[in-house]
Amino acid sequence: MTNYIIAAYDLKKYFPVGGFLFSSKQTVKAVDGVNIKIKENEVLGLVGETGCGKTTLGKLLIRLIEPTSGEILFNVPEEIIHEYEQALENKDYKKTGKISKQYSLLNKKGSELRKLRRYMNIVFQDPYSSLNPRMLVKDIIAEPMLSTGYASKKEAEDIVFKLLEEVGLTPEFAFRYPHELSGGQRQRVALARGISTLPKFLVLDEPTSALDVSVQAQILNLINEIKRKYSISLLFISHNISVVHYMSDRIAIMYAGRVVEEGDKNSVIFDAKHPYSKALISAIPKPEPLREKIFVNLQGEIPNLINPPKGCRFHPRCPVAFELCGWTADEVLSDLEYIIMQRYAEYFKGIKSISIEDDFTLNILCENSNPFDKRLLEIIEKEKNELKSLVSIKSIKQESQNIRVELYRYIEPSMYKVNGSVYVRCLLYKNNDEKQR
Partner 1 sequence: METVLNIKELKVWFYTRRGIFRALNGVNLILRKGEVLGIAGESGSGKSTLGLSIMALLPYNAVIIKGGSIYIKSKNTLETFDLFDESQLRRKFSMRKNRRIMNKISNSLSKLRGKLVSMVFQEPMTSLNPLLQVGYQIAETIVAHNSSYLAKRILSRIKVTNSDLKEVLNLVTSSNNVEDELKRYAKNKGLEGIESQILYILGRKDLSRTRKERAILTLKEKKKNFLTMNYLKRVAENRSLGIYSILDRLPFVKRFFSRILLKEGYRRAVELLSLLNIPHAEKVVYMYPHELSGGMRQRVAIAIAISNNPDIIILDEPTSALDVIVQNQILQLISELKSKFNLSFIFISHDLSVLAEVCDRIAIMYGGRIVEVAPIDKIFYEPLHPYTKGLIKAIPKITKESMTLESIPGTVPDMRNPPSGCMFHPRCPYAMEICRKQIPKSIEYNKDHFVECFLYGEQ
Partner 2 sequence: MSKELGLIGRRNYLLKRNPRLDELKISFKIFFSNPTAVAGLVITLLYFIDTFLVQFFPWAIGIHDPNQYIINPYNPVPTPPSPQHPLGTTYGGIDLLDAILKSIRVDVEYTLLIVLSGALIGLVLGLVSGFFGGIMDEILMRITDIFFSIPYLVLAIAIIFVLGRSLDIVALSLIIVWWPLYARYARGQTLSIKQMTFIEAAKAAGTRDFWIMFRHIIPNVLPPIFVQISLDLGVVVGVFSTLTFIGFSPTANIPELGYLTSLGLNFVSIAPWAVIIPGLVITIFALAVNLMGDGLRDVIDPRRRSV
- Quick one: 137 or 156, whose CB is closer to partner 1? 137
Straight-line distance from the first to the last Cα atom of the chain, in angstroms, rounded to the nearest whole number: 24
15 binds, among partner 1, partner 2, none (CB under 5 to 8 A by kind): none
**CA 137/CA 178 separation, integer angstroms:** 7
Going residue by residue from 53 to 92, which x/- string records binding to partner 2, judged by CB under 8 A?
Answer: ------x--x-x----------------------------
148 binds, among partner 1, partner 2, none (CB under 5 to 8 A by kind): partner 2
16, 29 in Cβ contact below 8 A? no
Rounded to a whole number of angstroms, the minimum distance from the CB of residue 91 to partner 1 is 39
Identify the residue among 68, 75, 240, 401 touching partner 1 (CB under 8 A): 240
- Considering only residues 258 through 287, tell me which ones interact with partner 2, judged by CB under 8 A: none
- Quick one: 38 or 141, whose CB is closer to partner 2? 141
Is residue 78 packed enough to be buried (19+ CB in 10 Å), middle (13-18) or exposed (0-12)? middle
- Considering only residues 6 through 65, tell me which ones interact with partner 1, judged by CB under 8 A: 49-50
Is residue 292 a contact point for partner 1 (CB under 8 A)? no
Query: In 3-state terms, what secondary structure has residue 14?
Result: strand
- Residue 402 main-chain phi, psi, to 5 deg: -130, 130
Q: What is the DSSP letter of 18?
A: S
Is residue 128 a contact point for partner 1 (CB under 8 A)? no
Is residue 228 a contact point for partner 1 (CB under 8 A)? no
Identify the residue among 133, 285, 371, 420 touching partner 1 (CB under 8 A): 285
**CA 226/CA 228 separation, integer angstroms:** 5
**CA 343/CA 135 separation, integer angstroms:** 65
Identify the residue among 2, 26, 102, 242 touching partner 1 (CB under 8 A): 242
CB atoms within 10 A of CB 228: 10
Supply the angle between the helices 78-89 and 93-103 in degrees, to the nearest 10.
150
**CA 195/CA 39 separation, integer angstroms:** 18
* CA-atom Rg of the chain in angstroms: 26
**CA 253/CA 276 separation, integer angstroms:** 9
340, 351 in Cβ contact below 8 A? yes
17 binds, among partner 1, partner 2, none (CB under 5 to 8 A by kind): none
178, 189 in Cβ contact below 8 A? yes
Is residue 106 a contact point for partner 2 (CB under 8 A)? no
Total residues at interface with partner 1 (CB under 8 A)? 47
Residues in touch with partner 2 (CB under 8 A):
59, 62, 64, 113-114, 117-118, 120-122, 124, 126, 129-136, 143-144, 147-148, 154, 157-158, 161, 171-172, 174-177, 179, 190, 193
Residues in touch with partner 1 (CB under 8 A):
49-50, 182-184, 212-218, 220-221, 239-243, 245-246, 266, 269-270, 279-280, 282-290, 293, 295, 297-299, 301-302, 338, 342-344, 346
